[in-house]
Amino acid sequence: MLNELTVSGRKLELGSISYMEEDAFISLVLDAQGKVSYANPGYYALTGYDRDDVLDAPLFQPGEEHYTSSLLAGLKVSRLTGEKWQGEVFLRKKNNEPLWLDVTLLPRCDERGDVFAFILVCFDITHHVTIRERLHYRAHNDALTRTLNRQGYYIRSRKKFRAAQASGAETVVAILDLDNFKTINDELGHAAGDEVLRHFISRVKQCISNTTLLGRLGGDEFALTFIDGTDEHDAGLLLQRIIEQTRLPMYLQTIGHQVALSVSIGVATWPRHGTNFASVLKAADTALYKVKALGGDDFINYQIVSTADSHSIVGSV
């Protein structure tokens, strides 16, 4: 059994930690600078590294701080307080496979009370984290169109709105609804309807940036939140492009011929049309009803025209 180590010139007693060499645990000892002084056989077996790769080297390489920020924070807190820390840490195996560890960090102090070593006792939780991430993805994404679902879109949009409110950046929301989609579904079948939705979303994604939030609210209704500094004018240009791309003939393999499609879009902007995400989304929905009433295949911006008629809108294409 491993009883003691010399770390940073000081003896580290390990006799009370009887599980350091048990294969069920991944155990490491770091010096005060975060370099590895000891790793148990379980660590080498799990990660594929050998002693020359690990000993006297940092546990993680420069540039990986965004993966290991939780452990870096834990080391800092334990160094200052002398208290243990527990959390989940992401590392990579030697073959670059992901590795998630549940880590308990135990600081060790010298006679002056200064932390000179850290004992890390870890469990491999990669499988559990993978399952958790899959469940989270399914809970927040739409399987058919591979966009955010209503819940995922709402959650992420609210977060972006809070950030926009802090910075004062204008934020545009648009609701998109396909015209006569019910007719396509009823006459051509649900398989054809699903193919229409996939094609439509593919065209939408070609028109927007990767930072724009895109979610399916339900049925053939989708929503966009522009969070990359896109103002109302720039958003209008992008939405016009979506309208034009939607008008192009769409070939459906399920029925073997083309269909014609168009989309109606309602638009609203923070802070002009609402104080938060919910009120701006409601304003965009009101604008959508207006463009639908005018025949569709277009977009309309929500605008308050007077304090006496705070829910009135006018078109501005």
pLDDT tens-digit readout, 147-183: 999 999 999 999 999 998 888 889 999 999 999 899 9
* Range scoring the smallest mean pLDDT among 13-17, 32-36, 210-214, 309-313: 309-313
pLDDT of residue 310: 35
pTM of the full structure:
0.72
Q: 127 vs 61, 94, 132, 163, 281, CA distance in Å?
A: 24, 18, 9, 33, 38
* Closest listed residue to residue 170, CA positions, set 272, 286, 305, 315: 272
Which letter does DSSP use for residue 228 in this model?
A: S
**Three-state SS at 65:** coil
- Provide the pLDDT confidence category of residue 286 given band limits of 50, 70 and 90: very high
- Provide the pLDDT confidence category of residue 227 given band limits of 50, 70 and 90: confident
- Provide the pLDDT confidence category of residue 313 given band limits of 50, 70 and 90: very low
Q: Is a pLDDT exceeding 50 seen at residue 308?
A: no
pLDDT of residue 27: 87
Interatomic CA distance for residues 141 and 157, integer angstroms:
14
Query: Which domains does the chain carry?
Result: 4-131 (3.30.450.20), 141-301 (3.30.70.270)
pLDDT of residue 70: 80
pLDDT tens-digit readout, 100-116: 999 999 998 888 888 89
- Mean pLDDT on 256-277: 94
- Beta bridge partner(s), residue 139: none
- Provide the pLDDT confidence category of residue 8 given band limits of 50, 70 and 90: low
- Provide the pLDDT confidence category of residue 82 given band limits of 50, 70 and 90: confident
Q: Read off the tokens for 85.
A: 């820390």
pLDDT of residue 104: 92
Q: Is a pLDDT exceeding 60 seen at residue 314?
A: no
- Provide the pLDDT confidence category of residue 305 given band limits of 50, 70 and 90: very low
- Provide the pLDDT confidence category of residue 2 given band limits of 50, 70 and 90: low
pLDDT of residue 52: 93
pLDDT tens-digit readout, 48-75: 999 999 999 888 765 565 556 788 888 8
Q: Is a pLDDT exceeding 70 seen at residue 23?
A: no
Burial code of 222-232, b = ≥16 C-beta within 10 A, e = fewer?
Answer: bbbbbbeebeb
* Closest listed residue to residue 213, CA positions, set 176, 247, 177: 176
* Closest listed residue to residue 178, CA positions, set 198, 195, 200, 150: 200
pLDDT of residue 244: 96
The DSSP annotation for 268-283 comes to EEETTT-SSHHHHHHH
Interatomic CA distance for residues 162 and 271, integer angstroms:
12
Q: For residue 250, give every residue at least 6 positions away whose Cβ sits within 8 Å of its Cβ, in sequence order, or none.
A: 196, 199, 200, 258, 259, 260, 261
Catalytic residue positions?
Answer: 220
